[in-house]
Structure 1
Amino acid sequence: MIQRLYDWTLSLAEHRHALWVLAFVSFIESSVFPIPPDIIMIPMILARPSRAFMIAGVALVASVLGGMLGYAIGALAFDALGEPILNALGKADAMEAFSERFNNFGFWAVLIAGVTPFPYKVITIMSGVTAMPLGTFIATSILARGLRFFLVALLLYKFGAPVRDFIEKRLPLMFTLAVALLVGGFLVIKVL
């Protein structure tokens, strides 16, 4: 089923309204859709390299707006459903402790999920559940998603089709390693 959904999403890149489709997929991927917008964005940029940065900009704006929807889902669904259940089970204090820990690292959680293969939608919803400051969430989402989409656009603009396999197969790993090094560096500085 996922393969069919992937193939269907990829076919949308050839549609005459592909930019709108990209915006829609970028928006819903940030809160509920399992397929990342890169699979539409990459063929669109390869087809029209001169529009690479405009395409990345559309993906960025739509993704951040979709992330705000994910944040709202977390905030509203938790208030309506999750909190009463936790109160009934006597676990509301545990959620408060989790929320505090999550928000202490919230910037990093959003940044990491925004640039790596980790599902960004999980972090958008958790950010709402834990009441992460909305400004921090939005700013970090812009940074993370901008880094991801504009780097892909830059690589495709500069190197074209030969870099496609690298982007599709290895770029998520490279982002993950870069974030791990960055976080590790900050942890070393904190310990020293």
Structure 2
Amino acid sequence: MKLFAPLYERAMQWARHRHAPWYLGGMSFAESSFFPIPPDVMLAPMALARPEKAWLYAWITTLASVAGGVFGYFIGLLAFDAIEPWLQTSRYWGAYQTATQWFDEWGVVAVFIAGFSPIPYKVFTIAAGALSMALLPFTLASVVGRGARFFLVAGLMRWGGARMEAQLRQHIDRLGWATVALVALGAAAYLALKG
């Protein structure tokens, strides 16, 4: 069933849109403080569609993401009491508790790890503010962690270029269904371990 091929074609069209860098910046900002979808899903096809602009897109993503992280920091610093009841009932409460534990153990290194990894960075930005972490080390760790991640994504797409796009186009449905299967298996394993 060809479900992912049309979605891939649409993503590549959006990636070539003249306003795509603005959308990428907005998504990167929002994801760092409240939006659930990571900017990689937009950065990768944009860098693949326009490899000559991959580094520019990585900079846009990094700077907007760090700005959003600072926004999340101030949410935690100034409004944590207002969002805590929602946070406790959301799926992010466990991640928030992990973030506070990591800050106790590793300090600012936790921000770098969250910035680079698929861990929800937004939770760490809010936790850093709620715990009154020093803003300058938080920002520097965010720049390094987020920058490393987004420049890696952009670099891989730039390196792969037309070859990678052709391979993705050919195998996108198999890759899409494999990803769905892995997510389902991961969710089942998580529920089995939790229960």
Classify the TM-score, shorter chain: 0.5 to 0.7
> Which residue pairs with 1:55 in the alignment?
57
- DSSP 3-state at the match of 1:160: helix
- DSSP 3-state at the match of 1:22: helix
1:13 shift after superposition:
2.9
Q: Deviations over 1:17-50 (max 9, x none)?
A: 0000000000000000000111111111111101
> Which residue pairs with 2:137 in the alignment?
136
> Which residue pairs with 2:157 in the alignment?
156
> Which residue pairs with 1:146 in the alignment?
147
- Contact 2:16/2:50 (CA < 8 Å) preserved in 1? no
Separation in 1, partners of 2:77, 2:126: 8
2:40 aligned with 1:41, yes or no?
no
- How many residues get paired? 145
- DSSP 3-state at the match of 2:36: coil
- Contact 2:30/2:68 (CA < 8 Å) preserved in 1? yes
Separation in 1, partners of 2:31, 2:136: 21
> Which residue pairs with 1:107 in the alignment?
108
- DSSP 3-state at the match of 2:24: helix
RMSD, aligned CA: 2.7
- Contact 1:113/1:120 (CA < 8 Å) preserved in 2? yes
1:81 shift after superposition:
7.2
- DSSP 3-state at the match of 2:108: helix
* C-alpha spacing 1:39/1:161, structure 2 compared with 1 (3 Å): farther
1:157 shift after superposition:
1.2
* C-alpha spacing 1:161/1:72, structure 2 compared with 1 (3 Å): farther
Structure 2: unaligned runs, 5 residues or longer: 1-6, 85-98, 169-174, 177-195
* C-alpha spacing 1:134/1:152, structure 2 compared with 1 (3 Å): same
* C-alpha spacing 1:129/1:161, structure 2 compared with 1 (3 Å): farther
| Structure with larger RCO (C-alpha < 8 A, sep 6+) | 2
Q: How does 1:53-92 map to 2 (within 5 A)?
A: 53-78=55-80
1:78 shift after superposition:
2.6
- Contact 1:103/1:130 (CA < 8 Å) preserved in 2? no
* C-alpha spacing 1:101/1:143, structure 2 compared with 1 (3 Å): closer
- Contact 2:16/2:49 (CA < 8 Å) preserved in 1? no
> TM-score, normalised to structure 1's length?
0.67
